[in-house]
Amino acid sequence: MSMFIAQTINKADPTTDIELMVYSLQNRLNQFFAITIALVISAWTGQWLGIVSAYLLLMLIRGRSGGRHLPSLTWCSLVSGIFMGLVPLINYNEKVIIVMTVVSVITFLLYAPNYFHERNDDGSDLKNKVIVTGIAASNLFIESSLMATILVVQAITIIPWSRR
C-alpha cells in the first residue's frame, strides 16, 4: 500500500524520493492500522480509555527503551493492535502486579535502552534508561494491571537473548 501511495504521489510530483516516501508511509500506516485494529476491538469490549492508555504508554516506553522488531510491519500492526485491544481486559492481583513491575524495573535497569538496529547515538541513553525505569517503578504505587502487562512485554523485547 505504501508503494502504491508513493508512486501515485510521485506521478503528481516527480521530484519526490519514492524510497524515502515509502519508508515514511510504512511507519505511518503501521501506526494507523495498529490503532484501527485496537479501536475495532474496543467497539466490542468498550475499553476505549484502556486502549488509549495502552497506546500512549506503549509508544512512550517503546520509543525510549528500544527492543526487537517483528519480521514485517504487517505483523507489527496486527500484533500491536491486538495487544493494545486486549491488554485492558487483563486483571491481576496486587502481588502479580508487583512481581511483574519489579521484573520490568530490573530489566530496564540492566538493558534499557537496547536498540537492535543501527541508529545515530544522540547521547540520551542514560536519560532514556532513567525515564523508562522511573515510569516502570511508578507502577509500584499505581498498581495497574494494564501498565504491568505493557511493561513486562516491552522489557522482554529489550533482553539480548543471543549475541549479536
Grid cell for residue 119: 541508529
Angstrom CA distances, 100 to 39, 60, 80, 87, 89, stand at 26, 18, 20, 14, 17
Model pLDDT, residue 113: 92
Q: Residue holding cell 536498540?
A: 115
Q: Measured at the alpha carbon of residue 126, what is the angle toward residues 67 and 30, in degrees to the nearest 5?
A: 30
CB 32 within 8 Å of CB 81: no
Position 151 in a domain: yes
For the chain (164 residues), the mean pLDDT of every run of 10, in chain order, is 82 84 87 93 94 94 90 91 96 98 97 74 84 97 97 96 67
Residue 96 within a domain: yes
Look at residue 55 in the predicted model and tell me its pLDDT. 94
Please report the pLDDT score of residue 109 as a whole number.
Answer: 97
Cα separation of 46 and 132, whole Å?
A: 29
Q: Do the Cβ atoms of 24 and 16 come closer than 8 Å?
A: no
Domain count, the chain: 1
What is residue 4's predicted lDDT score, i.e. its pLDDT? Answer: 83
Does 164 map to a domain? no
Residue 136 has a pLDDT of: 98
In a domain? residue 25: yes
Q: Which amino acid is at 72?
A: S
Cα–Cα dist 136/150, whole Å: 10
* 137 φ, ψ (degrees, to nearest 5): -65, -30
Placement of cell 540492566 in the chain: 110
Residue 41: its pLDDT value, please?
96
Contact 88, 53 (CB under 8 A): yes
In a domain, 138, yes or no: yes
Domain containing residue 40: 2-158
Question: Taking the model in full, what pTM does it have?
Answer: 0.84
Judged on CB neighbours under 10 Å (0-12, 13-18, 19+), 74 is: middle
